[in-house]
Amino acid sequence: MAESDPVLSKAKAWRVAYGEHVRWVREQARLETELVQRVGFPGIDVKVPGKPTPAFVQDAATLQLLLGKGAAAKKAEGDLRAALKAWKAEAARSGYSDAKQREKETGLVAERLAHEALTTKARTIEGAIAKLDIVLEVEAPGPDVTEAPWPALRLITADLRRLVKSK
């Protein structure tokens, strides 16, 4: 009977895609950490007139907002371009750029498959459980969160699993 529920095949496809997405999230994070250790964050520190500490700037618009258009701003723009170019080159060389793109692509696929599973009418209790599993995995802030409604949803899912097993 469970095999006739289209939610189950959609949830299975989502589970595979989501697992691939999680793998790329971790790989991208690992590569980003290594990249930051090698070249720092993409940006520069700039001395802002009237401020005791420098500001870390990552884009030209913020730089112009902080420094205006004087000679210091022109020099800082060149420094920023060089820093961003170095980051981009090292990101490509290290595989970070590819991993970030794969993370984005696999996330979109997993999101689409989750939507398909969640918007398909379940024909069985197993299908409804699969939908709850997706919601708990994707939407819950974490597996140990004690804020409502997550503990109740985990308990309901466990009850449904127990009832299906006892049939």
DSSP-assigned letters across all residues of 63-89: HHHHHTTSHHHHHHHHHHHHHHHHHHH
pLDDT computed for residue 143 by the predictor:
85
Whether the bond between 141 and the residue before it is cis, its omega within 30 degrees of 0, is no
What mean pLDDT do residues 149-153 have? 94
Structure tokens at 2: 């469970």
Percent of the chain with pLDDT over 90: 92
Q: What is the mean pLDDT of residues 23-27?
A: 98
Per-residue pLDDT for 2 more than 60? no
| Domain coordinates in residue numbering, the chain | 2-165
- pLDDT value at position 3? 62
Residues in the chain: 167
Q: CA gyration radius for the chain?
A: 24
Distance, CA of 15 to CA of 114 (rounded, Å): 9
User: Of the ranges 71-75, 89-93, 110-114, which one carries the lowest mean pLDDT score?
Assistant: 71-75
Task: Please check the confidence at residue 46 and state whether its pLDDT lies above 60.
Answer: yes
pLDDT value at 56 more than 70: yes
pLDDT above 50: residue 96: yes
pLDDT number for residue 45: 96
pLDDT value of residue 62: 95
- Output the pTM of the full model: 0.83
Residue 128's pLDDT band, with cuts at 50, 70 and 90, is: very high
What is the pLDDT, as a whole number, of residue 167?
81
143 vs 113 pLDDT, higher one: 113
Cα–Cα distance for residue pair 44/57, rounded to 1 Å: 5
Mean pLDDT for the stretch of residues 20-34:
98
DSSP 43: S
- What pLDDT is attached to residue 1? 47
